[in-house]
Amino acid sequence: MTDEKTLVSGIDIPSPASATDDGGVLGTIGRVGASRRQFIKGVISSGAAVSSAGYVFGGMAGCATEEAPMAGGVERLISLNVNGETRRVDVLPYETLAMTLRYKLGLTGTKLGCDRAECGACTVLLDGVSTYSCSTLTHTVRGRAIRTVEGLEGPNGELHPVQQAMIDELGPQCGFCTPGQVMAAVALLEANPSPTRDEARFALSGNLCRCGAYDHYLNSVMRAAQSA
Ligand code: FES
Ligand code: FES
């Protein structure tokens, strides 16, 4: 009967009360025309929709495009020094550097993994020091030299020696962590051109690799150091 049905994920099923009387919800589904498989698919798809909505809207939280109250009167149109160029960009007071780079300046080589200072995928250089851009407010880096993986490209498009070494040592597997690993390695070698393996391991310790290619990345740093 229609008044006994409850809508769950697009599938009409009897209310829990009547279902319990007849031996449970799943046991009743077959008698109203929906299979157990359809019911389970519906529940899974509704859960997936809720999860992905949270990811999409939550993931863009640091790059809101709506005008926010000007707490403290922060100037929004600012100049950034990115890869040796001055870039004018409209930045909200609470916007992170990773969001500005990726979604305002189109520098998508900088990846966003955890967005909470845990994985290192977003690593860029600030005045030569490796830094998590997901945890750095863009307004705080005015006047600093920002380098992203795009800034490593040579005048004729050639790869940086660290990038070439990572290819030679088969460092990248899925490649998602690679830009962050590259930037951390570049920061190390510019400060210390002849690191020990332990020093290299320490320098890259803030960059997680879900594929577990840590030895390959370490080999790459040592190869790049020897070729410099
Ligand atoms: S995305 Fe910045 S540390 Fe993970
Ligand atoms: S190569 Fe896949 S996460 Fe590092």
The whole-angstrom separation of Cα 155 and Cα 50 is 46
Question: Using CA positions, which residue lies closest to atom 4 of ligand 2?
Answer: 209
What is the arithmetic mean of pLDDT over 82-99? Answer: 97
**pLDDT tens, residue by residue, 95-145:** 999 999 999 999 999 999 999 999 999 999 999 999 999 999 999 999 999
Q: Which atom of ligand 1 is nearest to the CA of 133?
A: 2
Cα 87 from Cα 80, distance rounded (Å): 5
Residue 204 CB less than 6 A away from ligand 2: no
Domains and CATH numbers, the chain: 2-59 (no CATH), 77-149 (3.10.20.30), 153-228 (1.10.150.120)
Of the listed ligands, the closest to the CA of 120 is 1
Q: Among 103, 111, 114, which residue has the most ligand 1 atoms within 8 Å of its CB, making it the best to mutate?
A: 114
Q: Average pLDDT for residues 36-44, to the nearest whole number?
A: 48
Closest atom of ligand 2 relative to the 172 alpha carbon:
1
